[in-house]
Amino acid sequence: MLLKTVDINETLAKDVFQQRLKTLNARVKFPEDAVRLALLKSDPSHAEFADSKHESSILSLKYSMVNTAVPLKWNWHLSPLNNAQFYREVCMNSVSTAGGLRDQVSFLIE
């Protein structure tokens, strides 16, 4: 069982995202927008740690998709963070969010 308090964050380039989607779900063509929405908003229906020979762990999850009988398979590549890295990520995320909000406010004012 995956805890509800787990937050997973991974930044991927578009081509890496598309390649991972095609590799893990070779028999089914899921729309990319639906996949992004499922990864952001849905809770996984199945979770397990995959064997990995890399220094990072791989968390294999399956998400149920709307209007399909086949679940979406997705691997999250996890790596440990020390305190400095964690707070740097929090700071960078906050700055990015603030920048996005600034752009939205200026757009709404115009």
Structure confidence by residue, pLDDT tens digits, 64-97: 888 888 999 998 888 777 889 889 988 998 998 8
**Residues paired with 72 in a beta bridge:** 63
Distance of CA 91 to the CA centre of its chain: 19
What's the whole-model pTM score? 0.60
* 78 or 24, greater pLDDT: 24
Distance of alpha carbon 9 from alpha carbon 78, whole angstroms: 9
CB 69 within 8 A of CB 21: no
Which H or E run contains 60? strand 57-63
Query: Maximum distance among all alpha carbons in the chain?
Result: 52
- Compute the Cα dihedral for 89, 16, 72, 31 and give only its sign: positive
Indicate if the pLDDT at residue 109 is higher than 60: yes
